[in-house]
Amino acid sequence: MDETLRTIPKHIAVIMDGNGRWATQQGKPRFEGHQRGALTARQITEDCSKLGVEHLTLYCLSSENWKRPEEELAFLIQLLRHYMIEERTTMMKNNIRLKIIGQRERIPNPTLNEMDKTIELTAANTGMTLHLAINYGSRAEIVGAVRRIVDDVLQHNLPLEEIDETLFSNYLDTAGTPDPDLLIRTSGELRLSNYLLWQLSYAEIWVTPTYWPDFNRNLLLEAIDSFSKRQRRFGSVAVL
């Protein structure tokens, strides 16, 4: 596609799926798929930053992932901790700011500490914002928002008649962040997996059968090119 015709989404959300299946297909233990997936995350983050994407949200660890074997979970938590340390150089070099969405509960303190250090270190960066969804589940996020709204109403801090979609969005983990324009899902699965259910209401969806460890810049551009060709009507009629 002619680069002059390419429309870069302001916000791309990604469901990074298929690490374990990639490893199994390669005859390797599942943890090697997660390691390879972390390298892919680094490359795609850099690519998005250079392309001019303003926000990138990666689904790193869902609230449902705690059902996995303890050994795999322990590896994922350690991998996350190392990622927070090792990717600081990449983030600073590319002027990337880090934010985290999801619940802090169940995340060990050593990993939380490294997350907080990286958030603080990159806070003044003015380039792309990288949002990592860690221990995240959209239903829990929505329930939490409702609870906070109810509490504010009961405390007489919020008039009931002021509650609308915009206000509700401000009670979510993603408050202040524009909704994703494009959702990319790898591994060919056709579901949202409890990911950004409110925020993805009008996102364009692009799915590839490629497992996340093999996802690359060419596929990223293919997704963006597909997005560029779509007419986003947001419920209205197309203008001819």
Give catalytic residue positions.
17, 65
Which has the closest alpha carbon to 76: 19, 45, 34, 111?
34
3-state secondary structure (DSSP) of residue 135: strand
Question: For residues 178 and 54, what is the distance between their CA atoms, to the nearest angstrom?
Answer: 10
How many CA atoms are closer than 13 Å to the CA of 4, on its beta-carbon side?
0
The residue type at 170: N
133 near 57, Cβ under 8 Å? Answer: yes
